[in-house]
Structure 1
Amino acid sequence: MSQLSKEITLELVRVTEAAALMASKYLGRGDKEMVDKLASDAMRGMLDYIDMQGVVIIGEGEKDKAPMLYIGEQVGNWEPNTPELDIAVDPIDGTRLVAYGLPNAISVIAATDRGAIEYLPTFYSYKLAVGPELAGKLDINASIRENLRVAAAILNIDISELTVVILNRDRHREIIEEVRKVGARIKLISDGDIAAAIATALPESYVDIYIGIGGSPEATLAAAALKSLGGEIQIKLWPIDEKERNDLIEKGYDLEKVYKTDDLIKSDNVIFAATGVTDGDLLRGVKYSKNIAITESLVMRSKTKTLRKIISHHNLKYKTIPLKSEGEVRFINGKKGND
C-alpha cells in the first residue's frame, strides 16, 4: 500500500521553488558550479522540513563524488511513523543554461514509494519519449524511419508535420541525418532533456517525439512525469566505452534490455514537481519585479492524473531560504534569517 499522500505535493513544489530561486541569482554569470551548488544547497535544506523518511535514489552522484544530494542520502525529518519514500532529484536540469542565460532550465524532484525507483548503472541511456497518442506504439529497437512512419500514421498527419526533439550533440549526427532524410521537422536543444521528454506529452508544446542519448537520471525523472501524463519513455543503457560495457556485462546487466516507464517508476503513485529557472517550452523562468520574484511550477500526481501549474509571488523583503550549509538565510542579502 502506498505511503505517499497528497499532503506532500505542495511541499515538493516549495523544494523546487527554493532551488530555482537560488540558482536564478547566478543567471548569466557564467558559473555553472555556483548555480548547481546553490540549487543543491537550497533543495537539500528544504527537504529537511518535510515529514518523511526519504532516500535519494537518483541524485548528484555517489557520496564520494557529490557534496550534496548524493545517491543513498537520507532526506526529510525522519520522524517516527512518517512515510518511507524514494526520492529522485535534479536540482538544476541545465546548469549551463542558467549560467549563460539560455532557455529551458528547470529544477526537478519526484517522490514515490520505497523501492519503486529503478537505479540505472550508466550515466547515459538511449531514450525514446512520446505522448499519450503514441504510447505503446513505437519501438526503440526499430529504425528511425519506421518509428516516424508509424507515428505519422497514428497521428493521421504527414511525416513532414512531425516534430522530433534531439539534443544537439556530435553523437547524434546519424540520428539527425536520418530524421532529415525521412522528412520530419527537427527541434535541436542544447541541454535540458527532462523538459524535452515531458513536452511530448503536452499538447501546447507542439512536439511529438524525443529521441537520443542523454542522462540516465534525467530519463527516470521524465518517467515520473510521464506516468501522470499518459506518455511513455523507453530506454536502453548506453555505456560510454568498452570498459564500462564490460563492467556492466560482468555485473549481469543485459545491454539489450529495454526499460519502459513502469520499469523505471514501479509505483502507480508518484508525485513530480518542477519549477522553471529560465523561460522554456515547459515553464516560465524566475522573473523579478522590484522586490517580488515570480516562479512558475508544474506538479503532477500519477494516482489521480492531476496536473497543476502554480504561480507564486515571493516577497523578497521577507523571503528566507533554508540552506543545508547555513540554515535559513535571507534571499536578498544572504544574512541569517533571524539576524
Structure 2
Amino acid sequence: METPGPVNPDLVYSLRRVTERAACAAFNWIGRGEADDGGRAALDAMRSALTEIDLDARVVIGEATAGEAPQPQRGEHLGQPGASFKADIAVDPVEGTSYLVRGLTNALAVLAVAPRGAMMNPGPAFYMEKFVASSLARGKIDPTWPTAKKLEELAKVLNKDVYDLTVFVLEKPRHRDLVNEILAAGARVAMYPAGDVAGALMAAVPGSGIDALMGTGGTPEGVMSACAIRAIGGEFLARLDPQLQTETKAVKDAGIDTTRWFERDELITSDHVFFCATGITTGLMLEGVERTRAHYKVQTMMITGATGERQILTSFVPTERLASVAARDVA
C-alpha cells in the first residue's frame, strides 16, 4: 500500500457530490425498465463529478456482469491525474438495478475510496459470500460454522435470543437452503431482491433492526461495504464464491482459493477510507430522490474512516446546476 500522506477528512463532503449527481441522473429512469440507460446516465454523472475532486483514483472493481447496469472498467483512472491523494476506488452507479427499473425501493448510488493498494482486488470474481454483523461480533464468529451455530453465537454476543434475530438475505434461488437453515434455527429472515450494501450497513449498525447479513452477493458491493464497515467498527467476513460458469473458470485459472474466508482488515487494509451512498429510491436506509422545478432533494450517508463519523445529509441540488454540468459534458 502506498503511503497516503495527509488525508483531509472533509474530502467526504466533496465525494458525496459524486453519488448525489449519479442519483439525480438515475432518477429519470426509475420505473422505466431500462437498466442500461439509467446505469449509463449515473456512471457518466459519476465520472464527470470526480473530475472536480482532488483525487487520483484507480478503479479496483469494474466490468459489470450480464444484466447489470454499466460499470467503470477495472484499472480505469478517474478524478484528476497527478492529484496528491492516490486512491483505489470502487463504485456502483446504481446498486439495486432491479429496484430502479421496476420503480421499487432501496436503489442507491455508492462509492468507496481507500489509499492506493489498500483495497482488495478480487480478480475475476464477481460474487462473494458474506457474513456481516456489528462490532460486538468482531472475532466471535467462525464463518465456517453451520448456520445454526453462527446464529447461536451471534445471539449470545448481542445478548438476545436466536428467536429475536433478524438476518438480511438476498432473495435469490441460491439462498433457498440458507433461508431454510435460518428459519430452522429460529431466527427471522428479511429478504430483498437486491440492495446488500444497505443490508450490510444495517447489519453493522446496532439497533437498525437487522442483526446480520448472510449469503452471496456482488463482490463490488462487498468491497464497498467492507470500507464502510471498517470505518464504523463492524464485523465483515467474505469468501469469493463464483456463480457463473465463465466466472468459475476464470477464478480457477487465476489460482484463487474459493474456500478461504477473508477478514475485514484483509479486504481493506487502511483506516483512511471514505464511503458515500445516496438514495435513488427510498429504502431501508435512505430517502430517495425528489424533484421539483427548482431542485433535486437527495439524502446521502457519509462515513469517514479516520474519524469513524457516520452522517446522513439531506441536500437540495439546483436543477440548473445539473443542467449546466450536462451541457458542459456534451460540449
TM-score by length of 1: 0.90
What SS does the corresponding residue of 1:233 show, helix, strand or coil? strand
Q: Would you say the 8 A contact 1:42–1:321 is kept in 2? A: no
Aligned equivalents of 2:105, 2:280: Cα separation in 1? 8
Say whether residues 1:109 and 2:111 are aligned partners.
yes
What SS does the corresponding residue of 2:286 show, helix, strand or coil? coil
* 2:141 equivalent among 133, 138, 143: 138
Q: 1:83, CA displacement in angstroms?
A: 1.5
Could you say which residue in structure 1 is the equivalent of 2:128? 125
Q: Would you say the 8 A contact 2:36–2:70 is kept in 1? A: no
Structure with more of its chain in helix, by fraction: 2
Aligned equivalents of 1:105, 1:260: Cα separation in 2? 27
Say whether residues 1:168 and 2:154 are aligned partners.
no
Aligned equivalents of 2:69, 2:41: Cα separation in 1? 14
CA separation of 1:181/1:49 partners in 2, compared to 1, >3 Å: closer, same or farther?
A: same
Give unpaired runs (5+ residues) of structure 2: none
* 1:222 equivalent among 221, 225, 245: 225
Say whether residues 1:327 and 2:328 are aligned partners.
yes
The amino acid that maps onto 1:108 is V
Aligned equivalents of 2:19, 2:244: Cα separation in 1? 34
Aligned equivalents of 2:173, 2:71: Cα separation in 1? 31
CA separation of 1:30/1:248 partners in 2, compared to 1, >3 Å: closer, same or farther?
A: closer
Aligned equivalents of 2:86, 2:250: Cα separation in 1? 32
Could you say which residue in structure 2 is the equivalent of 1:332? none
Counting only pairs closer than 5 Å after superposition, residues 1-339 of structure 1 correspond to structure 2 as 1-3=3-5, 4-61=7-64, 69-79=72-82, 82-121=84-123, 122-240=125-243, 244-245=247-248, 247-320=250-323, 322=325, 327-328=328-329
Aligned equivalents of 1:213, 1:307: Cα separation in 2? 26
Aligned equivalents of 2:100, 2:70: Cα separation in 1? 20
Could you say which residue in structure 2 is the equivalent of 1:333? none
Q: Would you say the 8 A contact 1:105–1:278 is kept in 2? A: yes
TM-score by length of 2: 0.92
What SS does the corresponding residue of 2:153 show, helix, strand or coil? helix
What SS does the corresponding residue of 2:137 show, helix, strand or coil? coil
Question: What is the CA deviation profile of residues 36-62 of structure 1, one whole-angstrom value per residue up to 9, with x for unaligned ones?
Answer: 010001001111111122111123449
CA separation of 1:173/1:117 partners in 2, compared to 1, >3 Å: closer, same or farther?
A: same
Structure 1 stretch displaced more, 250-259 or 225-234: 250-259
Aligned equivalents of 2:204, 2:70: Cα separation in 1? 34
What SS does the corresponding residue of 1:104 show, helix, strand or coil? coil
What SS does the corresponding residue of 1:203 show, helix, strand or coil? coil
Q: 1:306, CA displacement in angstroms?
A: 0.9
Q: Would you say the 8 A contact 2:98–2:193 is kept in 1? A: no
Aligned equivalents of 1:72, 1:238: Cα separation in 2? 22
Structure 1 stretch displaced more, 3-12 or 280-289: 3-12
Structure 1 stretch displaced more, 169-178 or 312-321: 312-321
Aligned equivalents of 2:324, 2:34: Cα separation in 1? 21
Q: Would you say the 8 A contact 1:320–1:328 is kept in 2? A: no
CA separation of 1:60/1:146 partners in 2, compared to 1, >3 Å: closer, same or farther?
A: same
Aligned equivalents of 2:183, 2:324: Cα separation in 1? 47
Say what the alpha-carbon RMSD is for the aligned residues: 2.1
Give unpaired runs (5+ residues) of structure 1: 330-335
Q: Would you say the 8 A contact 1:9–1:271 is kept in 2? A: yes
Q: 1:205, CA displacement in angstroms?
A: 2.1
CA separation of 1:195/1:67 partners in 2, compared to 1, >3 Å: closer, same or farther?
A: closer
Q: 1:2, CA displacement in angstroms?
A: 2.4
Q: Would you say the 8 A contact 1:41–1:68 is kept in 2? A: no
Q: Would you say the 8 A contact 2:278–2:300 is kept in 1? A: yes
Q: 1:135, CA displacement in angstroms?
A: 2.2
Give the length in aligned residue pairs. 325
Q: Would you say the 8 A contact 1:292–1:315 is kept in 2? A: yes
Aligned equivalents of 1:209, 1:10: Cα separation in 2? 29
Aligned equivalents of 2:73, 2:173: Cα separation in 1? 29
Q: Would you say the 8 A contact 1:18–1:321 is kept in 2? A: no
Q: 1:258, CA displacement in angstroms?
A: 0.9
Q: Would you say the 8 A contact 1:205–1:281 is kept in 2? A: no
Q: 1:66, CA displacement in angstroms?
A: 9.3
Q: Would you say the 8 A contact 2:126–2:247 is kept in 1? A: no
The amino acid that maps onto 1:52 is L
What SS does the corresponding residue of 1:54 show, helix, strand or coil? strand
What SS does the corresponding residue of 2:60 show, helix, strand or coil? strand
What SS does the corresponding residue of 1:178 show, helix, strand or coil? helix
CA separation of 1:315/1:42 partners in 2, compared to 1, >3 Å: closer, same or farther?
A: same
